[in-house]
Amino acid sequence: GAVVSQHPSRVICKSGTSVKIECRSLDFQATTMFWYRQFPKQSLMLMATSNEGSKATYEQGVEKDKFLINHASLTLSTLTVTSAHPEDSSFYICSALTGTNYGYTFGSGTRLTVV
């Protein structure tokens, strides 16, 4: 089946530093990748949609200069949290359209803790 590999699974960083999260589609081409954020005891909130080779579309309230998304190839999308602050601590998950049977597949998530 379609697999999205997300790394790292867990990261702790100091306030003010940047963190890069990678999502790779292993056995399919992910034309579109979605990035979500989930705070404790809340549901997933869409942050942005990225299409290969074009600029990402950000949801209202999500700072595009803070959450940099790059989708340079059909198998790799990255989210960089720049100048991270403790309030950015969250669970970040990517998801891709597999293109088969109209299905989505999720990465395993990245738990970011900013100290």
Partner 1 sequence: RKEVEQDPGPFNVPEGATVAFNCTYSNSASQSFFWYRQDCRKEPKLLMSVYSSGNEDGRFTAQLNRASQYISLLIRDSKLSDSATYLCVVDNNAGNMLTFGGGTRLMVKP
Contact residues for partner 1, defined by CB under 8 A: 32, 34, 36, 42-46, 49, 91, 93, 95, 97, 102-104, 106-109, 111
Backbone φ and ψ for 87, nearest 5 degrees, come out as -70, -10
Taking the complex as a whole, the smallest distance from the CB of residue 44 to partner 1 amounts, in Å, to 5
Residue with tokens 């809340």: 42
- Shortest CB 16 distance to partner 1, Å: 26
Residue 16 or 103 with smaller CB distance to partner 1: 103
User: Are residues 92 and 37 in contact, defined by beta-carbon separation less than 8 angstroms?
Assistant: yes
- Reply yes or no: is the peptide bond before residue 86 cis, omega within 30 of 0: no
Least Å distance, CB 97 to partner 1, is 6
Q: How far, rounded to the nearest angstrom, does the alpha carbon of residue 93 sit from its chain's CA centroid?
A: 5
